[in-house]
Homo-oligomer: A and B are copies of this chain.
Amino acid sequence: MELSKEPYKGTRDFYPEDMYLQKYIFDTMRRVVETYGYIEYGASILEETALYKAKSGEEIVNEQTYSFTDRGGRDVTIRPEMTPTVARMVARKRQELAFPLRWYSIPNLFRYERPQRGRLREHWQLNVDVFGIANIEADAEIIFVSYQLMKAFGAKEESFIIRINNRKLINFLLSDLLKLKPDEVYKLSKIIDRKDKLEASEFQAQVATMLADRTEAFIKLLNTKDLTELASLIPSNNGVKELLELSELLKARQIPNVVFDLSLMRGFDYYTGTVFEVFDTSALNNRSLFGGGRYDDLVGLFGEEKVGGVGFGMGDVTIKDFMETYGLIPKYKTTTQVYICPINAEYFQKADELAQSLRENGINVVVDYTERKLASQIKTADKQGLAYIICVGDEEVETGKYKLKNLHTHEQVEVLETELLATIKSS
């Protein structure tokens, strides 16, 4: 049987053009978050399975992970998310690290699921977290960084909104106001979490199975957009207080597209305060792009003193889909500038000398050693997207003059060997 040439289901090959785009995405991510003082960290893609059993959502551990037993009998999992790893790392050096920490990473993550638009089995995800700031300023900064990321990818403010909510408020409504038991709170939260994916009537029906005649009033409450009104109803709730403070801070930072959304859940288990989500408003790509929130007790799971954290994760597949929707994908550009074409093997050494003197001055240069006709060599350079070609033969070596041809502009200049570098650098 012939070997398959396809990558494993739900994963991607990155040919140079794909890699260019991936690097553009990663470089943009790095540039923005480093501006705010976030420092890169990393870890292995394999972790012991126990790490994910402690605090992930149930669905994630049971059905969606790549878990197996290694040859030494250890249960291991290919990471489905980065937060448990970063919490482990913070706990591991709890005593040595200087807080507050601003950390980021761009790990690849695996989930076992049916591949579909925006959902692959493997994707990369920018993870940005701040640890050790108790007050709401950290939440505001994290949301501001999310906003700046969208702008850096070329998004206009009208193409996305930032929804905010707070777990302390949701918990108050479900536990204290509706008097639901913990398992009911969990179940209703999951229903609310799917609100955007359901028809309004279907959503109402699902809520009704739990709330009966209180359904209509509850859905009306969920649709409240007015924070101040809510604050006047339940003035002592910390969730509402934090939301009001957060709104003020985001206003001070001049973000115009923040909306309060009481139905925003962002999964369930981690978060303890602020939750937020960046949402694409276009009809073509109407969906959640990414989000995050505050989790106050992840580091405590490792037996260390608690360290509060706020963070988010932004996936490469979703942001790429967004960029496609809005025509924001940059054009491929190769990292190689010059392609040298010797007319035959006799001129390899001269070609190497030319190449090496350009390389020593920071120019990336290829020499074609295939002994093909010039036309074929030039065709290769052109197909690979190179800008410059230089041919090397009798005439050039005799006169010391080289034709520098730009394949993009089709311009050609004849210059002395000693002027090649300056000519390439100045154009």
Measured CB to CB, the residues of A under 8 A from B are 2-9, 11-16, 18-19, 22-23, 34-37, 39-48, 50-51, 54, 66, 68, 70-72, 74, 76, 78, 88-89, 91-93, 98-100, 102-103, 108, 110, 112, 121-122, 132-135, 137-138, 141, 252-253, 301-304, 334-336, 339, 345, 348-349, 352, 359, 364-371, 379-380, 383-384
Q: Which residues of B contact A112 (CB under 8 A)?
A: 70-71
CB distance from A294 to the nearest CB of B (A): 14
From B45, B121, B303, B369, give the contact of A133 (CB < 8 A): B369
Closest to A89 in B: B13
Copies per complex?
2
B366 near A335: Cβ-Cβ < 8 Å: no
A16 near B39: Cβ-Cβ < 8 Å: yes
Closest to A362 in B: B35
For this complex, 28 residue pairs linking A to B, each with C-beta atoms less than 8 Å apart, are A4-B48, A4-B50, A5-B92, A8-B74, A13-B44, A15-B93, A16-B103, A19-B40, A19-B41, A19-B42, A34-B336, A36-B364, A36-B366, A37-B364, A40-B335, A44-B122, A45-B45, A46-B78, A66-B70, A70-B112, A71-B112, A98-B379, A100-B368, A100-B369, A134-B370, A135-B345, A135-B369, A137-B369
B98 near A50: Cβ-Cβ < 8 Å: no
The answer for the CA separation of A201 and B49 in the assembled complex, in Å, is 47
A54 near B102: Cβ-Cβ < 8 Å: no
B302 near A3: Cβ-Cβ < 8 Å: yes
From B8, B89, B100, B303, give the contact of A46 (CB < 8 A): B8
